[in-house]
Amino acid sequence: MSSTPLAAALAAILFAGAAQAASPTIGLGRVQGPAPQSDTPTELGQRFIVKTRDSGTQARSLLTSTLNSAVARSGMQRALPANAGAPARSAVSAKVLRDMAVPGWHVVQTSRRLSDSERTAFINELRADPSVVSVQVDRLYRRLDEASVRLPAARAAAASTTPNDPAYAQLQWNFHDPVGGVNAEAAWTRSTGEGVVVAVIDTGVVQNNPDLAANVLPGYDMITDHRVSRRDSDGRVPGGYDLGDWVEADYCTALGASGNAPEPSSWHGSHVSGTIAQVTNNSLATAGLAYNAKILPVRVLGSCGGFGSDIADGMLWAAGLPVAGLPTNPNPAEVINMSLGSGAPDNCPQLYQDAIDQVNAAGTIIVVAAGNANANAGTYTMSSCNGVISVGATRVNGGRASYSNYGSRVDIAAPGGGGDVDGNPNGYIFQVLNGGTQGPTSDWQIGGMAGTSMASPHVAAAVAMVQSVATTPFTWTGMRDLLRASARPFPVAIPTTTPIGAGILDVDMLLQMATTPPCQPSDSSCVPPTKTLTNKVELRGLGSQGGDALYSFQAAAGTVVSFMTFGGSGNVAMYVSAGRTPTSSSYDARSTRAGTTQTIRITPSSAGTYYLRLSGSYSGLTLVARQ
């Protein structure tokens, strides 16, 4: 990677005063923008995923017979000579490659790649067998950012602030910027994620990262194709270490994908892991959000992406659930981050949904990136799946990043970077990456990336921080509702046609609400955490299971203020007071009709703060103040 004045300046400020001979050198490397998602799915014709009605040895034996019959009925058991319309085709055989961790699911492999018509016929014949529940192509999924962009122009060095990681103040706006950041510094007084394991299902992490290794647990490399893993064999191996995901020109065509341009290794999993738990306050490079949590690397992505079958097994192993042929994970994750997804519109595969349901039942929370297609997140995997928390991406100004997927399926937004539109460093999220273009080297650099891949780990880290201090761990639904309720209103209006959740992640408010007991209606002295309402900015997706939520609004004198709730389900009561906290028995105005639609209108005689309390059990609620 080329050197720039900024790289030299950063190298100087990052390591000034570090006299010990063993200190690593981490310069500033490239920045990367979000990878757009395609309109056409990339499907493979060699690996398939089959669900049978039964599981176990007998079911596998029956499936072998079923495969042979499907090949024969498809007319592929004999070689065909070339003709005017098609090249010569060899005979096809099919085998069960392995049983999956989700009961009843199997990975099947044909002896050669099938044409479109052959693939369709083979799938239809399998689906017609009464012992088969479903059949799908074992698709390649991908990380959600990869495109390189230009290096930044030189900037003057900025003095570091708390924490003492030298690049924190200059580069990590996503943690501390009052408009676009996640309010990390206040949150660190409440929790740093200690004792929580966060699995990162991604490209793995590079071994011996000088600013991350102390927070990395032994994981697993789940990739079962050496062409994807860049290992010498197809078998899975312990560690979870990133060996690189570079591709030569048209390398992916051997895996059934379309032609590709050459690309260097991304070190994507290391970047995502760094946002979650980079070692912090060590006077080196950058900080992490839940910096006392531990990272469990589960490698499922490599060159050209990763197979859905490997990803599903990776989810289960990460949560401590059994996977045939592997030792049980001794460090089950409480949180899983998945900054990956389909390259095109894709309904949630049943295999994924089955795996997610098992992971949720085990008590593990899954956080996913909403996607980079500037489209409806509910039509892309992973957000098309149930049981996951979907995260959209915002810019430094708090607005929606242009690439971010949107829609009602997105639960919350977090910094992902706006890319070139916000310049450098404010358009990117920075963490420490390896400097190798193919396999890892001894060169370490600070790299910037943008995408929903970068937004998701902020929320995964925040979930870890909550679970670290919660008296009783939250379920995924409880955590989703808490994230929505604690989100900071967007500082710029988000069009109703492209919503990206209830607001921007505010980790300090999240922790306040998680650790403050709900106020009881009879306790007039109880003051719940207070969120600030922005004029005409809707808070969406609010939920409560019987507790109270408190909001404040700065009102001007002489103009009517309307406080309104609507949408969702359940029952909510609204109480408003000027300059003091209202209760159910002491208030200036109230609206308590049945349901979720409530309205209070007040004309302030003088400018000041109005407090609004919501009480009840409700979900999917929208709240807005208009003046």
Residues contacting residue 589 through CB under 8 Å, at least 6 positions apart: 575, 576, 600, 602
Q: Is 458 exposed, middle or buried (0-12, 13-18, 19+ CB in 10 A)?
A: buried
- Please pick, among 165, 202, 211, 481, the residue that the annotation labels catalytic: 202
- Our answer to whether residue 481 is catalytic in this structure is no
Residues 135 and 49 sit within 8 Å (Cβ to Cβ): yes
Contact 595, 605 (CB under 8 A): no
Is 570 within 8 Å of 551 (Cβ atoms)? Answer: no
Reply yes or no: is the peptide bond before residue 345 cis, omega within 30 of 0.
no
CA dihedral defined by 520, 523, 525, 529, rounded to 10 degrees? 0
Which residues pair with residue 202 across a beta bridge? Answer: 299
How many Å apart are CA 8 and CA 613, to the nearest integer?
53
CA angle 161, 412, 178 (to 5 degrees): 25
Cis peptide before 218 (omega within 30 of 0): no
| Interstrand relation of 140-143 and 306-307 (parallel, antiparallel or unpaired) | antiparallel
Q: Is 268 a catalytic residue?
A: yes
Contact between residue 425 and residue 170 where contact means Cβ atoms under 8 Å apart: yes
Q: Is 93 a catalytic residue?
A: no
Instruction: Give me the residue label for tokens 């690049």.
Output: 167
Give the up-direction half-sphere exposure of residue 24: CA atoms within 13 A in the CB hemisphere. Answer: 22
Helix or strand (DSSP H, E) at 479: helix 476-486
Angle at 134 between CA 131 and CA 135, to 5 degrees: 110
Catalytic residue among 106, 176, 268, 271: 268
From the list 504, 510, 484, the residue with the least C-alpha distance to 413 is: 504
Rounded-to-5 percentages of helix, strand, coil across the chain: 25, 25, 50
Query: How far apart, in Å, are the Cα atoms of 571 and each of 90, 568, 584, 612?
Result: 66, 9, 15, 16
Q: What's the first-to-final CA gap in the chain, in angstroms?
A: 52
Q: Which two tokens stand for residue 110?
A: 């044909």
Residue 479 has a CB neighbour count (10 Å cut-off) of 24
SS3 257: coil
Residue type, 402: S
Catalytic residue among 453, 456, 486, 544: 453
Q: How far apart are CA 582 and CA 614, in angstroms?
A: 10
Which of 249, 252, 263, 264 is closest to 227 using CA atoms?
252
- Residue spans of alpha helices (H) in 177-216: 184-187
Catalytic residue ranges: 202, 268, 453
